[in-house]
Amino acid sequence: MKRAGFVAAILVVVALIAVGCQRQQAQQQAPQQQAGQVPDLGGRAVRVATDATYPPFEMLDENKNIVGYDVDLITEICTLANCKPEIKSTAWDGIFPALQKGDYDAVISGVTITAERDKTMDFSDPYIEVGQVLLVRADESRINSLDDMADKGVAIQRGTTNDETATQLQKEGKIKDIKRFPTFDLAVKALLNRDVDAVIIDNTAASGYMGTNPDKLKVAGEKFTSEGLGIVVRDGDSELQSAFNAALKALKENGTMDRLYQKWFVDFKPS
C-alpha cells in the first residue's frame, strides 16, 4: 500500500510537471501564433503621413519627435506585420492628395471613416470611437450645450468632419459664425484669445488640449456625434489594408489597445 501510494504520488507529480511544461510552451508559443495570423509584409518600409498637431493622437515632443497614440499604434502594427513605419508630419490640407499621388502609403491622423472619403480611399477597421464636443474657455458661463450656440461663433480645422458638422449646424441656424484654420492648435489659440466662443473638436483631442492648457479649457455639454477612426491607405491597396486589419484584431485581443488607451488617454500628462 505504501509503495502503491508512493508510485501514485510520483505519477501525480509527473503529471503536474507535464501540465506545467505544456502551459509554459503554450505561453511561449502564443505570441508567435498570434503574430503568424498577421500577413507578413516582408520588412518593407511603410511611409506614413500624419498631422502632428492633434494631441494626444499625434504631436511633437520637446525634441521635435512625433509621438502620440497613433504613432505607438502604427509602430505596434508594423511589429506584428513585419514592416518599418516611416512617419512624417504633413499639413492636413494636403494629406489625402499626397497619399493618392503616392507620396505616402498610409495616413494615421485621427481620421474619421466616412462614406464620402471611402469613395476615393480605403480604410482599416475602426481602431477607436470618438465623438464631437464643444471646447470652451474654463471661465465660460454662457455655453452649456449646442442649444446655447445660435448667436455664437466656433473655430474648426478646415477639411475635417468637424468642419462638416459646423457647416451643417450653421445651415440649421444652431451656430452663427465659423472660423476655419489649417490646424487645430490655431483654432484653440483663437479660442484662448477670445476670437471665437468655442471649438468643435473630437472629445479625445479636446482632452489633449485641456491637458496642454491646464485650467484654461473645458468641455461644454455632451458628445453630439459618434465616429470611428481608421487608418487610411490608397484605394485598392488590399495588402496593407488586410495586414492592418489583422494586426488591429491581434492588438485588441492581446490587450495592447487597452494599454495604449491607458497610456495616452488616462495617464498622459502633457509637459
Range of the domain at 245: 44-129+229-267
Q: Do residues 252 and 260 lie in contact, with contact meaning Cβ atoms separated by under 8 Å?
A: no
N- to C-terminal Cα distance for the chain? 72
Q: What is the mean pLDDT of each run of 10 residues along the chain (271 residues)?
A: 36 40 42 65 98 94 96 98 98 96 97 95 97 97 97 96 96 97 95 98 92 94 95 97 98 97 88 63
Q: Supply the Cα-derived Rg of the chain in whole angstroms.
A: 24
> Which strands make up the sheet holding 83-89, listed edge to edge?
83-89, 44-50, 106-107, 232-234, 121-123
Q: Are 246 and 257 contained in the same domain?
A: yes
Beta bridge partners of 134: 200, 220
Q: CB under 8 Å, gap of 24 or more: what pairs does 166-170 form? A: 166/200
Does 76 lie in the same domain as 149? no
Query: Minimal CA–CA distance to 131: which of 199, 44, 54, 224?
Result: 224
- Asked whether residue 235 falls in the same domain as residue 119, the answer is yes
Q: How many Cβ atoms from other residues are within 10 Å of residue 188's Cβ?
A: 27
Are residues 124 and 252 located together in one domain of the fold? yes
Domain assignment present for residue 6? The answer is no
d(CA 155, CA 162): 9
- What local confidence, expressed as pLDDT, does residue 271 receive? 63
What is the phi-psi region of residue 184: left when phi exceeds 0, alpha when psi lies from -120 to 50, beta otherwise? Answer: alpha
> In the prediction, which pLDDT does 268 show?
87
| Distance separating alpha carbons of residues 197 and 13, to the nearest angstrom | 72
Instruction: Output the domain CATH number for residue 48.
Output: 3.40.190.10
What's the structural domain count of the chain? 2
Confirm whether 29 is domain-assigned.
no
Determine, yes or no, domain membership for 3.
no
Q: Do residues 52 and 96 both lie within one domain?
A: yes
| 11 HSE (CA, 13 A, CB side) | 6
The overall pTM is greater than 0.85: no
Shared domain for 138 and 121, answered yes or no, is no
**Is position 23 within any domain?**
no
CA angle 140, 143, 148 (to 5 degrees): 155
Check if the beta carbon of residue 82 is closer than 8 Å to that of residue 40: yes
